Amino acid sequence: MTDSGGRPPVYYHDYLRLDRLLSSQAPESAKYGDEAHDELLFIIVHQAYELWFKQILHELDDVHEVFSRPFVPEREMGRVASRLERVVAIQRILIDHVDALETMTPLDFLDFRDLLVPASGFQSLQFRLIENLLGLPHEQRVLINEADYTTRFSSEHRDILERSHGRASLFELVDAWLQRTPFLHFGDFDFWDSYRDAVARMLDRDRSLIVSNPNLTEEGRGEQLARFDATADTFAALFDAERYEALLAGGIRRLSREAFLAALLINLYRDEPILQLPFRVLRALMDVDEGFTTWRYRHAIMVQRMIGSKIGTGGTSGHDYLRETARRHRVWNDLFDLSTFFIPRSELPELPESVAEAMRFHPTSEPR
């Protein structure tokens, strides 16, 4: 039997390989004659995680391919944004899976927990590949019992992880893409000089308001001025190339100075048509970072709820280890810090007409 196009019909059950999929749950407790009811839930949720991790890698690999090009056409930015936003939608599902797991009580988990040792979600190869692809620095990872994270994997999977370390990460590719932003220097227009002048005017006005405020006591004025000086110093570090290099060397910044400035320009002028898609991409990268941070934290809270202060099945400190990864395994902190350097729209340097036309796709002649 074939369809009108000469192709054999596709049957739902066969297309999804449900025979294979639905027979892939093998509770350990069943091997010992007394199957724990909730172990099936535990297996299915974690298998679902791995399926979603496969989809996330599929999306991120496509984003990686776009950014790997020496020149990224503007029309590809919509594709990149859509891929990243799909990852964010999947992350919401991952977090919802925690709700399903939490219907299992700690005593339910104890019915089969000891049978899982030493297996652990820590050994998810796909999730570690996601972290490497996004750009989590190797040296930033939380050690597991003072050992490198790769030591908990089989030799085959360890080789795969080692190879992933040699691949350019999305962080590196996005940094290079930002450095190529054309509007930082456009003819006689230099965004850096214009922005620095606008910041100087804003800071001068803010300091004058503190000094002349009749409602402040001398002590209060001193406190306000100390905070003002700290803010001014933060801006000064951005304007000084040597100080910015020191921030890079100290691990406080990861984006190159040129890339950081480009990301700042994109955010400040995001209303300009040509910058709307790049802004959407940067926002989606932050959303992905936040999504994994939220998921890690929810996971940490769930583990504390299930095992308290016990050691996890993988031999880690359980809740403490997971909570620390939620804090330290972030990739795009620099993008989150950009808001430190935002100035009101009313203070933004006015764009020269030549730059404005380029950003707004204005035609240079009347349409014919």
List the chain domain ranges. 25-359
Q: Which residues pair with 186 in a beta bridge?
A: 189
pLDDT value at residue 74? 84
182 alpha-carbon distance from chain centroid: 25
Q: In this predicted structure, what is the pLDDT of residue 349?
A: 82
What's the pLDDT score for residue 168? Answer: 96
**Residue 329, C-beta contacts closer than 8 angstroms, at least 6 positions apart:** 131, 136, 140, 141, 142, 292, 293, 296
Instruction: Kindly report each contact of residues 238-241 with a partner whose C-beta sits within 8 Å and lies 24 or more positions away, as own/partner.
Output: 238/341, 239/196
> Can you give the pLDDT at residue 24?
97
Q: Which of 258, 255, 327 is nearest to 297 (CA)?
A: 327
Does the pTM surpass 0.85? The reply is yes
> Rounded CA gap, 67 and 173, in Å?
6
CATH architecture of the region 25-359? Up-down Bundle (1.20)
For residue 361, what pLDDT is reported? 57
| Grouped pLDDT means (10 residues each) for the chain, 368 residues | 74 97 96 93 97 98 96 90 98 96 93 87 93 94 84 94 95 95 72 87 90 91 91 90 94 94 93 92 98 94 83 60 87 95 87 75 43
Rg (CA), the chain: 26
Whether residue 310 contacts residue 110, with contact meaning beta carbons closer than 8 Å, is answered with no
Q: How far apart are CA 173 and CA 184, in angstroms?
A: 19
Per the listing, tokens 């002028």 go with 269
pLDDT of residue 367: 36
Name every residue whose Cβ is closer than 8 Å to that of residue 99 and which is 6 or more positions away in sequence.
none
**Per-residue burial over 229-244, b = 16 or more CB atoms within 10 Å of its CB, e = otherwise:** eeebeebeebeeeeeb
